[in-house]
């Protein structure tokens, strides 16, 4: 709605939507690829969408990769609108000190991938006790990335930068009560099953390894267990809905730490805020 009204372009901030073959499970918009100025652009309802279904799922696209790609896009787009729920990715873009330009360390990742979450947190605690406390409920892959960054900073003696965004930003948030969120998640999951989520999961299992499937997370490992006969369909649905619901609650908690977010109640309020922001800019 905002993109159409103000002729903006969408940049997806979704750590799963970036991968090809996860369109249903990541609830990506049902757009299509078109040729524009010699480039393939993903279009949905006339609006260009960027960083959607562009990376092979076997590869890892980190928050560092996102920050670099999004920065390039923002410089080219007149009115960029970042949409999505991967809070760590958004923080990586808006807080230069968060990643400190730390590149992926494949060797360290391989070593850490065999450790338990408890062990990972104990390692991170040695680098940054406060960070370890904040990440207790986050997935192991994010803890590994935090260790990777901390290790890079220590080895290279990276001087901490001030946490100042590179861009003028208007933060708008949408929320709902937890019961409403859970009801919506269940409805969406049932809809996704009808759209072909089971088939998508089978194809994904053929394309990536079992450990990688777990890294991609949420629905996929649970559906894989169902397809292997390890759990019933009802168990698969219940576990999938609960997994996404708890993930959504963590997202909600993450974003509520940002005092700059304005939590809007309706479209009219969102439009007024954007108009005021653009006029001031």
The full 3-state SS of 6-64, as one line of letters, equals HCCEEEECCCCCCECCCCCCCCCCCCEEEEECCEEEEEECCEEEECCCCECCCCCCCHH
Question: Confidence class of residue 156 from pLDDT cuts 50, 70 and 90?
Answer: low
DSSP 73-86: HHHH-SSEEEE-S-
104 contacts 62 by C-beta, under 8 angstroms = yes
- Percentage, residues of the chain above pLDDT 90: 58
Amino acid 160: pLDDT: 40
Q: Which tens digits make up the pLDDT trace of 192-218? A: 999 999 999 999 999 999 889 988 888
- Percentage, residues of the chain above pLDDT 70: 93
Tokens of residue 219, six digits: 């629905």
- Strands 9-12 and 47-50 turn out to be parallel
Q: How far apart are CA 28 and CA 16, in angstroms?
A: 9
Whether the pLDDT of residue 161 is over 60: the answer is no
Whether the pLDDT of residue 97 is over 80: the answer is no
Whether the pLDDT of residue 281 is over 70: the answer is no
Count helices and strands (H / E) in the chain: 14, 7
Give the mean pLDDT of the chain: 88
Amino acid 119: pLDDT: 94
At residue 131's C-alpha, the angle toward residues 130 and 137, to 5°, is 115
Q: How far apart are CA 31 and CA 35, in angstroms?
A: 13
Q: Quote the pTM value.
A: 0.77
């Amino acid at each position: 709605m905002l993109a159409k009204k103000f002729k903006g372009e969408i940049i997806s901030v979704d750590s799963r939507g970036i991968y090809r073959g996860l369109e249903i499970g990541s609830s990506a918009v049902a757009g299509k690829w078109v040729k524009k100025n010699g480039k393939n652009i993903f279009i949905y309802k006339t609006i260009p969408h960027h960083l959607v279904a562009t990376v092979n799922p076997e590869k890892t696209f980190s928050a560092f990769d996102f920050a670099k790609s999004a920065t390039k896009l923002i410089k080219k787009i007149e009115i960029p609108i970042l949409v999505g729920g991967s809070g760590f990715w958004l923080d990586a873009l808006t807080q230069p000190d968060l990643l400190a330009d730390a590149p992926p360390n494949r060797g360290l990742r391989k070593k850490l991938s065999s450790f338990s979450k408890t062990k990972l947190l104990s390692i991170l605690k040695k680098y940054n006790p406060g960070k370890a406390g904040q990440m207790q409920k986050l997935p192991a892959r994010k803890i590994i990335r935090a260790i990777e960054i901390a290790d890079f900073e220590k080895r290279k003696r990276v001087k901490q930068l001030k946490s100042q965004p590179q861009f003028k930003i208007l933060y708008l948030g949408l929320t709902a009560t937890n019961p409403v969120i859970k009801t919506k998640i269940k409805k969406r999951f049932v809809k996704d099953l009808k759209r072909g989520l089971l088939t998508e999961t089978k194809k994904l299992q053929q394309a990536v390894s079992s450990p990688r499937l777990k890294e991609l997370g949420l629905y996929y490992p649970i559906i894989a267990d169902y397809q292997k006969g390890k759990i019933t369909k009802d168990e698969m649905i219940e576990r999938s809905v609960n997994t996404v619901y708890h993930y959504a609650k963590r997202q909600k908690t993450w974003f509520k730490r940002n005092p700059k977010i304005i939590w809007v109640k309706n479209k009219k309020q969102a439009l007024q805020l954007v108009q005021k922001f653009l006029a001031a800019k």
